[in-house]
Amino acid sequence: MGRHAGWIALHSGLAGGANIILIPERPFDIDKVCAQVESRFATHYAPIIVVSEGAVPAEGGTMSLVSGDKDAFGHVRLGGIGDRLASEIERRTGKEARTVVLGHVQRGGSPTAFDRWLATRFGLHAITAVHDGDFGTMMALRGTEIARVPLAEGTAVLKTVRPDLYEEAEVLFG
């Protein structure tokens, strides 16, 4: 997850207390990553690194491919950046590095009361849109209101992580 946009990695990394978060929007410097790993081990704690599948090294990096195979949408299957990174960290620092690939196994847990309420509201508004014959729209949350939005508006532009948001999180990395 995170082929071109690092939202999931950024949010889960912050929520999970990660020490380093690597996303596609910001190519990473392996030397800096290893320095942060060493710094974390110096405090007698192991670092947690969250890596989006589209993360790339700054120096001539490319996306890490599982194979030349394509997925159901015609995209080349990505994967392996975590393993590549772990191997490089071990080689450079001498510290054991383990990878866990969450992929689609990771779920959000049991829904909260707010989640159930919001899903119900989305459903009711979607039914109303169908009743009105307003196809090609999706429901969006704008503040506390549900709004109909043309699908093209919701999907026309890839919404990547803004540099200022990553910089806020980056303050916590080292």
Q: How many CB atoms lie within 10 A of CB 148?
A: 15
The residues pairing with 78 across neighbouring beta strands, listed in sequence order, are 65
Token duo for residue 82: 């975590």
Report how far apart, in Å, the C-alpha atoms of 8 and of each of 5, 25, 68, 88 are: 8, 13, 25, 24
Residue 133 has pLDDT above 90, yes or no: yes
Token duo for residue 150: 């043309």
| CATH superfamily placement of domain 7-107+158-173 | Phosphofructokinase domain (3.40.50.460)
148 Cβ partners below 8 Å, 6+ apart?
125, 129, 134, 137, 138, 139, 140
Residue 143 has pLDDT above 90, yes or no: yes
The pTM (predicted TM-score) of the whole model is 0.76
In the chain, where are the structural domains located? 7-107+158-173, 113-155
Q: Are 61 and 27 in contact (CB under 8 A)?
A: yes
Residue 128 has pLDDT above 90, yes or no: yes
pLDDT tens-digit map of 107-123: 667 889 999 999 999 99
The residue that leads in pLDDT, 61 or 94, is 94
Least confident piece of the model among 9-13, 66-70, 156-160, 164-168: 66-70
Whose CA is closest to 66, among 52, 51, 81?
81
Residue 120: its pLDDT value, please?
96
